[in-house]
Amino acid sequence: TCARSGQDLAGALSSAIQSGDANQIAGVYDWSGMSSSNAYRLMERLDLIARRPLVDVQPMYAGGTNEYGDGVVEFDEQTGEVIARPQRKPRLIGLRVEQTLANGTTPSRTVFGLRRNLGCWWVRL
């Protein structure tokens, strides 16, 4: 089965990374249009990601939202009243993977873009 929502994709990517198996990460990757040589290079990169301890997978949104997809609201500093509210629904644009290097303390971040194809969500680098 494939990820039918961004939330499903984030969960699948998180599980794949926690497995430590680059092939599982490859299972949620959008390979369309990729040459063989690029695919080999990408698998090497996915293998490095699979070897690092996972801290968190966070969705990334566009359009005036915070990292949780909540609209940013502006307030008048003197009156405390709301000045502006976001008008658009936040749009999921990527997944941010927070990890540590092998030493367990040095942070490492990978940002995956997203692609929807045939009703399924996939990650891209």
pLDDT at position 116 is 93
Structure confidence by residue, pLDDT tens digits, 44-78:
999 999 999 999 999 998 865 555 555 555 666 77
Q: pLDDT digits over 7-33, tens only? A: 999 999 999 999 999 999 999 999 999
Stretch (H or E) spanning 10: helix 6-19
Backbone phi, then psi, for 117, in 5-degree steps? -145, 125
Predicted TM-score of the model (pTM): 0.78
CA-to-CA distance for 17 and 58, rounded, in angstroms?
A: 13
For residue 7, the model assigns a pLDDT of: 92
- Residue 35 burial (CB count, 10 A): 8
- CA pair distance 7, 21, nearest whole angstrom: 21
Confidence of residue 89 (pLDDT cuts 50, 70, 90): low
Confidence of residue 109 (pLDDT cuts 50, 70, 90): very high
